[in-house]
Chain A
């Protein structure tokens, strides 16, 4: 029997790009569930299929095979117009680069997604204002995105993602363009949203700090989720890498793991500079 708390479910989802000999399998029979009230972080090396996973889960891209249920709705056979409706009503998106509309104020950016942007009844304005107030932006309602700091922009984007009260929040590298402090604030906010508003929050990230606020962390690699992994931070770029598959260098009796050859070469050129951050 299906768990009523499951907001997002992917079963046996495969995504293959290309045709013939040049095919690339980005996701290989992936199973995934996210429940209301939990924060799930998906990590993995570049090119592991994290964004593919997120876009398929968000009904922006069709899977080659498998089923995707968003808020209990099976999406495989839906038409584009119906998928758009699901994205608007049941899914909230948060992007690394905020993706606010430049010519709209913070309030307008949030209010826009309600009712398909056709009209803005007073109730929409009230809700948008309430969300922005909740995120400490009550003084910035009339500000354009260019007048906001990175942290403020991301909070506006989070408010926008909640405007239609969706069951699922999908966040792509939400701290990618923020400094440490702002990143921490945003992550705490996302956890608060999951717990207090009972949303399923799925975060794709390279940032290992994200794990601190997550209820579950998953490692995506080679098109599938890996259960048990040992990770380390690349001392050069800070990216989380899987120790087993990473290229490693030992310096002063300590092993350092790298995401790519470029980082390893930089390290070897000046190990004193990077070693203490590893």
Chain B
């Protein structure tokens, strides 16, 4: 680093702190928002991806997993699917959003009724207790434990039935609601859905044929629609996050502008204050290129320090916040950190642009004035 850049930068510690703080705040906000978005995206679409199925069949018009109004009759399905060689196995699944209560607390849950014989659509990863609930029993997602203190042995009322918690699992947190798992027949009974399911999950012998099978379902089964697992996860994410993305984008742009404004203004005022010194340097034989480098180096160092501070705080503080605010689900990806580093670099270069133009206009003759 050029000595003039280094000395200018570190001799004004308050200004440096303000500049670095401005960039760090912007970086913190940007990385938090990206991590939050990734976290939500992971939670919301993650369950669908984790289910060991290649094709999801639903009622026509169904768009996603979480707010599905799908009802499918199960009558005759066994007979039809048994004639299709490419199907390895299939399983009905009930997924219904409900309000539930426990010990005076109201909570939003996604009641999932799965077939214990196939375990398709069941808890992704049981961390404690039973892995298959019995009659009147339920396995809850750990997020319900974190949010409401619900634990094994407690009772939760959903769909007019009191369920005893017998296990806890991960992978069923959809941010706005959390999964409670019961067996299919218990769900059918509680929800009066005898002979019905929300989805039919199909596992293909050859997963590459999933898309073709999904299209076949649509073509040959009126009133039904087929999704590959990947498409259904994407559709679920889009449905929930589609409304959030524009808001996040606006906040990201605002964070960028705030970071740019703070760093740009501090670098500009530092340049204006040092205008005479830059004039001296020009007078004693330094080129404009050298002076530009001085300003760019200062801006880049501010950007780098701000980035390290902001990104570091995100990584360090994110998990702590998550403990206190369960909805604050952050998932930091290295690709996003790299993206934010690029954004910070852009911020630093733009912040230096106006001061550099100012430098070009400095007349070295002015330094002869006392």
Contact = CB atoms under 8 A, between A and B. Distances in A.
Interface residues of A, number: 36
Contact of A87 (B4, B11, B284, B289): B284
Contacts of B368: 51, 54-55, 95-96, 172
B370 A101 contact: no
A58 B3 CA distance: 25
A60 B277 contact: no
A60 B283 CA distance: 7
Contacts, number: 78
A88 B284 contact: yes
B307 to A, nearest CB: 24
B283 A87 contact: yes
A55 B366 CA distance: 10
B364 A60 contact: yes
A81 B368 CA distance: 21
A93 B365 CA distance: 12
Nearest to B285: A88
Interface string A97-134: 10101111000100011001110100000000000000
A89 interface: yes
B280 A103 contact: no
A118 B2 contact: yes
A96 B367 CA distance: 9
A116 B286 contact: yes
B365 A60 contact: yes
Interface residues of B, number: 24
A102 B8 CA distance: 9
A108 B7 contact: yes
Given A101-B4, A101-B277, A176 B284 contact: no
Contacts of A116: 285-287, 290
A234 interface: no
Contacts of B284: 87-88, 93, 113, 160
Contacts of A248: none
Interface centre among A102, A117, A118 (most CB of B within 10 A): A117
Interface string A3-45: 0000000000000000000000000000000000000000000
A19 B4 CA distance: 39
B14 to A, nearest CB: 14
Contact of A93 (B3, B11, B283, B289): B283
7 contacts: A54-B368, A55-B365, A55-B368, A85-B285, A101-B281, A108-B3, A117-B4
Shortest 7 CB-CB contacts between residues of A and residues of B:
A88-B285, A87-B285, A103-B7, A103-B11, A99-B280, A96-B370, A84-B287
